[in-house]
Structure 1
C-alpha cells in the first residue's frame, strides 16, 4: 500500500461494497417467506392472527429498498475496521479483531436496517396494509424516531450475533484451509457460513424476540419504550422459555441458508471483482 493510502483507495474496498450489497439482496429476497413466518410466530397477537401462511411476501418492498445499502454498509465497515485493526494472521488477537470489526459493521448497518425492518415487520403482521401506507403512518404518528424504534434492541441482537458468527466463520475457514493445504473456495466458505450463522441464530433468538416485540408494540405502551430487559421479562412471564425461543427453527433455517448464500455470494462476487 502506498504511503498515505487508505483501504478506500484499494480495489478490495469497492469489491467489498458491491459484493456485500449483492449478497444481501440475494439472501433477503430468497428467504423472505421464512422471515415472515418467524416474525408472525414472535408476534404478540399470535401466528394465526398475524396472518398465518397468508401473504408471506407482505413487506418485501421495504426489504428490497433497504437490503443493498444495508449489506454494503456492513461489509465496507467490516473490511475497513479489519484493515485498521490488522494483526499478524498467527496472532491470538485475530478473533478479537474480527469481533470488533463485525460489531462496528452492525452499528453502522443498523442505521439503514432498522427503518427498513420496522416497516417490513409491521407489514408482515398486517398484510392488508401496503408498505408505503405503513411507512406513512409511522412518520405521521411517531415521526422519524418511530422508524428507529428498536434501534437499540437491534444493535443488542446483532452485536452478540456477530461476535459468535464472524469469528466462528473465519475460524472454520482457516481450519478447513489448513486441512486441505489451500484457501477454501466459495462453496466451502458458504458451508462454514451456514454452520456459523445457524449456531449464532439459536443463541441470539431471545434477543430477536425482544426486538420484534418492541418494533410491533402499540405506540405509547411500555414495550414500545425499547427496554430490551423489560420486553424479555414480559415474554418470560407470559410464555416462558418457549416464548423466548419463538420462531427459533425458521430463524435458524433462514440464517443457515442465508449464511450459505450470503457469505458464499460475498466471497464469490469479491473474487470475481478482484
Structure 2
C-alpha cells in the first residue's frame, strides 16, 4: 500500500471515528447504564450523560486510525486481485487484524469511560488515577479479551456485509457508490452486526465494571454470559440492544460514509 493511501486511511479513519464517538456519546452512556447489574437509574439514569467523554475524546482518533490503517494494509496484502470468492474472507481477516491492533488503544479508554459513566460523580482523571492505583496497568486492560471477542465477530459481520452491499449497489447502478450510498450500506451493516453481538457487549461491560477480585473481573466471557443468563435470562443478555443498534446504525452511517468521503478527497 503506497504512503499516500496509508496517510489517507489514517486521517480518514481517525476523523470519522472521533466524529461518531463524540456525536453519539449520550446513546453509549444510556446503553452502558442499561447493561450494569445495578440497573439504569442506580447507575445515574439520564444524569451526567456526558460523563467519561474526555476519555473517548483522547482515545477515539488513534483507535479508529489504527484500525483502518491495519484494515486497508491487510486487505491489500490478502486480496491483491479480483476474486468474488476470496473477497469476503480477505475482508474478514483484515477486519479481525484491525480490531486486534485497535483494541490496544480502545480498551484502556473504554475501561475509564465506562467506569465514569456509571459513577458520574467521579472525573475521568480521578477514575484513571484510581484504576492505576488499585489495579495498575493491568486494570486498564481488564476486558481486552472480552472486547476482542466482541469486536472480531462484529467486524466479521459488519465489514464483509458493508463491502458486499456497496458492490451490489455499484453493480445495480453501473458505477461506484457515492459516499452517501456507502453510508447507508454502513448503517444497515452496523445495525445488524450490533444486534447479533449484543450479548458479547453486555459481557464485556460487566467484566470492565466488576469489583476487583470478583469472579467476573477475571475476564472469563463464558462465565460472565452464564451469570447474566442465570440472573436475568435472555432479557439480560440483550440489555441495551435498542440504544446499541441505534448508535451503531447511526455510527455506521456517519463513520463509514465519512471514511469513504474523506479518503476519496485525500486521494
Into which bin does the TM-score normalised by the smaller protein fall?
over 0.9
Q: Hey, what's the Cα distance between the residues in 2 that align with 1:90 and 1:146? A: 44
Mind listing any 5+ residue stretches in structure 1 that lack a counterpart? 1-6
Is the CA contact (8 Å cut-off) linking 2:79 and 2:86 kept in structure 1? no
- Find the partner of 1:180 among 162, 173, 182: 173
- Find the partner of 2:131 among 130, 138, 161: 138
Instruction: Quote the offset at 1:89 in angstroms.
Output: 2.3
Q: Hey, what's the Cα distance between the residues in 2 that align with 1:222 and 1:259? A: 34
Q: Hey, what's the Cα distance between the residues in 2 that align with 1:14 and 1:86? A: 20
- The total of aligned residue pairs comes to 267
Instruction: Quote the offset at 1:128 in angstroms.
Output: 0.2
Q: Hey, what's the Cα distance between the residues in 1 that align with 2:76 and 2:128? A: 37
**What does residue range 68-79 of structure 1 map to in structure 2 within 5 Å?**
68-79=61-72
User: Who is 2:193 aligned against?
Assistant: 200
Q: Hey, what's the Cα distance between the residues in 1 that align with 2:29 and 2:82? A: 40
1:81 equivalenced with 2:74 (yes/no): yes
Q: Hey, what's the Cα distance between the residues in 1 that align with 2:176 and 2:132? A: 48
Q: Hey, what's the Cα distance between the residues in 1 that align with 2:51 and 2:122? A: 9
User: Who is 2:54 aligned against?
Assistant: 61
User: Who is 1:90 aligned against?
Assistant: 83
- Find the partner of 2:112 among 112, 116, 119: 119
- Find the partner of 2:250 among 234, 243, 257: 257
Q: Hey, what's the Cα distance between the residues in 2 that align with 1:109 and 1:84? A: 19
SS state at 2:120 partner: coil
User: Who is 1:4 aligned against?
Assistant: none
Structure 1 residues 26-75: Cα deviation after superposition (integer angstroms, max 9, x where no partner): 00000000000000000111100000011100000000000000000000
Is the CA contact (8 Å cut-off) linking 2:72 and 2:94 kept in structure 1? yes
- Find the partner of 1:212 among 202, 205, 208: 205
Instruction: Quote the offset at 1:91 in angstroms.
Output: 3.2
Q: Hey, what's the Cα distance between the residues in 2 that align with 1:254 and 1:45? A: 23
User: Who is 1:153 aligned against?
Assistant: 146
User: Who is 1:30 aligned against?
Assistant: 23
SS state at 2:224 partner: helix
SS state at 2:127 partner: helix
Q: Hey, what's the Cα distance between the residues in 1 that align with 2:14 and 2:3? A: 18
Q: Hey, what's the Cα distance between the residues in 2 that align with 1:249 and 1:156? A: 21
TM-score by length of 1: 0.97
Query: CA RMSD for the aligned pairs?
Result: 0.6
- Find the partner of 2:36 among 33, 43, 67: 43
